[in-house]
Amino acid sequence: MNGQFYKYDRDSRDVVTVTLNRPEVHNAFNDELITELITCFKKINEDNSIRLVVLTGEGKSFCAGADLNWMKRMKDYTDQENYDDSLALSNLFSAINNCDVPVIGKINGAALGGGSGLVAVCDYALACKSAKFGFTETRLGLVPAVISPFVMAKIGENYARSYFLSGERFVAPEAMRIGLVHSITPLDNLDTETERLIAHFLKAGPHAAKTAKKLIRNVMKLQNSGKGEDVVDYTCKTIAAIRVGDEAQEGMSALLDKRKPSWIQNEE
């Protein structure tokens, strides 16, 4: 299921690795890559057997944000064409953010502008120590508008004020301090640490992992919409439904029987 500008690999554990594949331009977005990735994540959601997604970049960079040659062409677009283009980019971030299964960001290099936005929509972001980050749009006379809801959900208004307004680049330890990434590791250990994370995520029941991701999204939506009183009803209905399901019954039985549940039976 490879695209022109991304690679798709699936292993025997039903873990999918999606690799941005425009290394000559540091994996920058253009309209074709955006369309391809939206289609890719739509197909991932349609396949109930997929357990986990790893998102990374080919070459030395994770993603340099928008392709500037593509962006420059937009000066000749109509207002509607510019809006539609921006909406497509927003749809890409939403597709990854709302992917049914967990998404691990394997940040192998620079993640700038929209690239830092991609980091923000990953459920877990692991970065190499040498990676650079930044919401650099203002230094080009632009603003990080489309990515702002996703980034601010991760780093909050305080750090958005600092880094959105200045456009300053920052290093991996700072990205971890402000909550954009979860952990960092040397570049030569990135593959090993990614595998360790995959093993941890695969210990969760497949249905439970999907439900937990949906739970987080819906609880935040209810609270942010001022419907906090509905949270109790929603959460109680969620646990009441899942606890009687086959997967939960298997997980609890496995714990009582002092054995591994069926979904990790091949673990050494």
Report residue 6 CA to chain centroid gap.
15
Residue 180: C-alpha distances to residues 51, 75, 109, 127 (Å): 23, 32, 15, 10
Q: How many helices (H) and strands (E) does the chain have?
A: 10, 10
100-142 confidence digits (pLDDT tens)? 999 999 999 999 999 999 999 999 999 999 999 999 999 999 9
**H helix or E strand, kind and range, residue 47:** none
pLDDT attached to residue 6: 95
pLDDT in the model for residue 266: 62
Give 237: exposed, middle or buried? Use CB within 10 Å, 0-12, 13-18, 19+: exposed
What is the set of domains in the chain, with CATH numbers? 6-201 (3.90.226.10), 206-264 (1.10.12)
pTM score, two decimals?
Answer: 0.94
**Could you give the angle at the alpha carbon of 11 between the alpha carbons of 172 and 105, nearest 5°?**
15
What would the two tokens of residue 184 be?
Answer: 């960092």
Question: Contact 205/247 with Cβ under 8 angstroms?
Answer: yes
**Section 245-253 average pLDDT:** 94
Percentage of the residues of the chain whose pLDDT score is greater than 70 = 98
Beta pairing class for 52-57 and 103-107: parallel
Beta strand pairing status for 169-171 and 124-128?
unpaired
Determine the Cα–Cα distance for residues 160 and 149; give it in Å rounded to an integer. Answer: 10
Amino acid at position 50, single letter: I
Q: How far is CA 145 from CA 91, 92, 163, in A?
A: 13, 14, 13
Average pLDDT in the chain: 94
Beta bridge partners of 112: 134
Sign of CA dihedral 165, 166, 168, 173: negative
pLDDT digits (tens, 9 = 90+) for 189-223: 999 999 999 999 999 999 999 999 999 999 999 98
- Sequence-distant (6+) residues with CB within 8 A of 211 are 238, 242
